[in-house]
Amino acid sequence: MPKVLVSAGPTREHLDDVRFLSNGSTGRMGYQVAAAARAAGCDVVMVSGPCQLEPPAGVSVVRVVSALDMLAACERALPTCDVVFAVAAVADHRPRLRQPGKPPKAEAYALDLVPNPDIVATLARAGGRRVIVGFSLDATTIDGLQQQARARDKLARKGLDLIVMNDVSALGSEHSAVQVLDAEGHRHAQPLQSKADTARWLVDLALHRWRTRFPPRAS
Ligand code: C5P
């Protein structure tokens, strides 16, 4: 069975020891993907940002806080992994400097932010016999074709095999309706269903792709 790496949850980018920038990801989708991969018989390592969920039984969990921590943990796990699901909602930016302690509250002030590294693109650049799956979350206000064009661009730019499209209505919800685009230009759609069912379907799709792309070498 392939070994699976899942990134999950939000990241926190600390301004000081108390305040941070983050987002509303609950981690549910990533945890469901990890559970589904484990249920399919895979060894699973999940690198998780801070969230309230109980990790699925049998999954090895590495807890991280920031995007830089998440990148380092994923890079450590990658060499033994065959399939990667980048489900984490990584903060796009972090403060250039983290202040120590809790500086007193200021009036209006500007934040000096720098971009975070793209974790899944960095993992994809490592190459190897791997299937890399990314996610693309868009506002419900953009239409389906625009959403597909953006997802296709991300798939190519980040070097992914599959990209899962969903919209912000999935954030924090128990349900999602996803479509997947693959690197050959095919589209696979699923109806609105529980995230557990979506996760099972995604894991099947990615494992099938890994098996067909990388059949066991004849000895
Ligand atoms: O570019 P965007 O944030 O829309 O891409 C989303 C996909 O890229 C998700 O799979 C997410 O986990 C991954 N990502 C990442 N590192 C980042 C930003 C996004 O791995 N810094």
The residues that are catalytic are 23
Closest approach atom of ligand 1 to CA 137: 4
Give the residue from 180, 192, 190 showing the smallest Cα distance to 154: 180
Measured in Å, residue 219 CA sits from the centre of ligand 1 at 38
Measured in Å, residue 138 CA sits from the centre of ligand 1 at 12
Strands 3-8 and 43-48: parallel
pTM, 2 dp: 0.96
Give the residue from 74, 3, 81, 86 showing the smallest Cα distance to 37: 3
Give the C-alpha separation, 152 to 154, whole Å. Answer: 5
Contact 129, 82 (CB under 8 A): yes
Q: 3-state DSSP call for residue 92?
A: coil
The tokens of 100 are what? Answer: 């120590």
Per-residue tens of pLDDT for the chain, all 219 residues: 999 999 999 999 999 999 999 999 999 999 999 999 999 999 999 999 999 999 999 999 999 999 999 999 999 999 999 999 999 999 999 999 999 999 998 899 899 999 999 999 999 999 999 999 999 987 766 678 888 999 999 999 999 999 999 877 777 778 888 999 999 999 999 999 998 999 999 999 999 999 999 998 776
Contact 73, 33 (CB under 8 A): no
Ligand 1 pocket test target in 21, 94, 119 with most atoms within 8 Å of CB:
119
154 lines ligand 1 (CB under 6 A): yes
* Sign for the pseudo-dihedral over CA of 153, 157, 159, 165: negative
Rg (CA), the chain: 18
Tell me what pLDDT residue 200 has. 97
Give the residue from 65, 64, 60 showing the smallest Cα distance to 46: 60
134 lines ligand 1 (CB under 6 A): yes
The tokens of 45 are what? Answer: 């390592």
Tell me what pLDDT residue 140 has. 67
Closest approach atom of ligand 1 to CA 164: 10
90 lines ligand 1 (CB under 6 A): yes
116 lines ligand 1 (CB under 6 A): yes
* Sign for the pseudo-dihedral over CA of 218, 182, 62, 123: positive
Strands 131-138 and 162-167: parallel
86 lines ligand 1 (CB under 6 A): yes
